[in-house]
Structures are given as C-alpha cells and as structure tokens.
C-alpha cells in the first residue's frame, strides 16, 4: 500500500474527510532529484530544517510551498521570514517578533505554529503546554503573522499509547485556544511522522511530517 493510500485509509477509519490531512514531505538532507521527482508527482509541500541547505532548493522549486520545521537562530530570522510560507517551530516570543518585524509587507502573513513540548521532556525544545496560551496571545497580536496552530514531536521513548495521548492533548490545547481566545485561524496540528502518523491522524493531525516513507534514507548531496 502506498503512502497516500495509507493516509486515505487512516482518514476513513477515523471518520475524517481525506482533505482534512495534508502531507508535508520532510525534504531536509535529500537531494534535488528526489525532491523534484516528488514534486512532479504532485507533492507541493516540503519541510526543511536548515536554512543554508533550503535556499538552493527553494530557488529551484519556487512554486512549491516551503515550511521551516527546525530550530531558529535569531541571525537567520530575516531569510526564514521571507523564504518560507509556514514556520512550525516557534518556541519564543523573541523569535516570533523578529519574524513579524522582518516579514516583507507585500507577502501574505507568515503562518506560525507553536512547537509544544508535549512530553514535558526537559531535553527537548518547545513550550510547555501550560505556557502555550500566553505565547499564542502574544503572537496573535503581531502583524504579518498568522497564529495557525501547534506542532509537537513526542519523545522517542514514549510507547504508542503515550504518543496517542500526547497527540490527543495537543488537540485539546488547540481546541481551548479557539474556544477560550477566539483564535479561529489556530486550527492546524502538525504531528505524526513516518512511524506514528496513523495514530496522529486518528487524534486530529492536519499536517503529518513524512520523510523516510517518501524519500527513503537521507543522503546529503556532495558539496
């Protein structure tokens, strides 16, 4: 069964329409031939974690939609703000404010997802669940940004059941942001990867981030 068929099956078994889940191809460390092959087959959404690596890819495929999914250094916010349409990895007001200030006025608002440390693992990046509403309100007040939702990566040590519970909690946090603060645009949940996307879909994912099931093992291009 191919990946899109697996996604369709997961949506059907969860009682969700197929168009409620979008596939983000994690293209970091993949060569352009593989990325262009996926693009030619209709994959338009790509996720990158390293700005320097991503810039050439964006130049070669300017009509694709590019998502930044990695850690953000303050010195790189200007390029991230203007080369990407989505940023999935916001974990501080400082970075969000820099993206807001540096996003060009002519561009559509940059769609922002807050990265949540849903496992409460001190070794992992992300905002603790109890701090989400405070950061979301601050981001929502910034111009040129759209507070679009939440992203999470459960700890690798979690069992399947624990991951499901983490995904469920993330959805509950998103629901609370909309109901308590009226953040109507805050409806996206970026969660689930190659090993756990089925349970993520069952718990409400709107974006699943898939790398190896699309591209296989990561192979960096030669310099």
Query: Has residue 220 been placed in a domain?
Result: no
Residue 82 included in any domain: yes
Give me the count of residues in the chain: 223
Distance CA 166, CA 202 (A): 12
The answer to whether residue 33 sits within a structural domain is yes
Closest CA to 63 of 44, 80, 42, 43: 44
What is the tens place of the pLDDT at every residue in 208-219? 999 999 998 765
Tell whether pTM > 0.75: yes
In the predicted structure, residue 86 carries a pLDDT above the cut 80 = yes
pLDDT at 223: 34
The rounded distance, in Å, linking the Cα atoms of 68 and 50 is 8
Mean pLDDT across the stretch 137-144? 96
| pLDDT for 123 | 86
Model confidence at 222, pLDDT cuts 50, 70, 90, reads very low
Residue 1, pLDDT > 90, answer no
With respect to residue 102, please indicate whether it lies within any of the assigned structural domains. yes
pLDDT in tens, 154-209: 887 678 888 999 999 999 999 999 999 989 899 999 999 999 999 999 999 999 99
Residue closest to 99 by CA, chosen among 51, 149, 145: 145
pLDDT of residue 159: 80
Q: The CATH number of the domain where 99 resides is what?
A: 3.20.20.10
pLDDT greater than 70 at residue 220 = no
Domain with 41 in it: 3-215
Per the structure, the count of domains in the chain is 1
On average, the pLDDT of the chain sits at 94
Query: Is 83 within a domain?
Result: yes
Query: What pairs with residue 127 in β-bridges?
Result: 116
Q: How far is CA 197 from CA 31, 65, 77, 151, 223, in A?
A: 24, 21, 29, 13, 33
Assigned domain for 211 exists? yes
> For the chain, what percent of residues have pLDDT higher than 70?
96
Cα–Cα distance measured from residue 210 to residue 191, given in angstroms and rounded to the nearest whole number: 10
Q: Give tens-digit pLDDT for 87-123.
A: 999 999 999 999 999 999 999 999 999 999 999 988 8
- Assigned domain for 68 exists: yes
pLDDT > 50? residue 145 = yes
Share of the chain above pLDDT 90, in %: 87
């Amino acid at each position: 069964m191919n990946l899109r068929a697996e996604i369709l099956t997961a949506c059907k078994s969860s009682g969700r329409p197929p168009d409620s889940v979008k596939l983000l191809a994690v293209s970091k460390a993949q060569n352009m031939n593989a990325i262009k092959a996926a693009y030619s087959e209709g994959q338009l959404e790509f996720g990158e974690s390293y700005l320097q690596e991503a810039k050439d890819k964006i130049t070669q495929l300017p009509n694709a939609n590019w998502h930044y999914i990695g850690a953000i250094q303050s010195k790189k916010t200007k390029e991230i703000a203007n080369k990407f349409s989505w940023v999935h990895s916001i974990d501080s007001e400082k970075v969000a404010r820099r993206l807001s200030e540096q996003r060009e006025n002519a561009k559509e608002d940059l769609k922002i997802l807050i990265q949540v440390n849903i496992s409460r693992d001190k070794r992992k990046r992300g905002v603790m669940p109890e701090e989400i509403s405070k950061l979301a309100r601050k981001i929502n007040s910034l111009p040129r940004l759209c507070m679009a939702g939440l992203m999470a990566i459960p700890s690798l040590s979690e069992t399947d059941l624990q991951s499901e519970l983490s995904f469920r909690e993330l959805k509950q946090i998103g629901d609370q942001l909309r109901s308590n603060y009226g953040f109507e645009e805050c409806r996206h949940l970026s969660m689930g990867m190659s090993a756990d996307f089925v349970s993520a879909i069952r718990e409400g994912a709107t974006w699943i981030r898939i790398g190896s099931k699309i591209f296989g093992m990561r192979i960096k291009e030669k310099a």
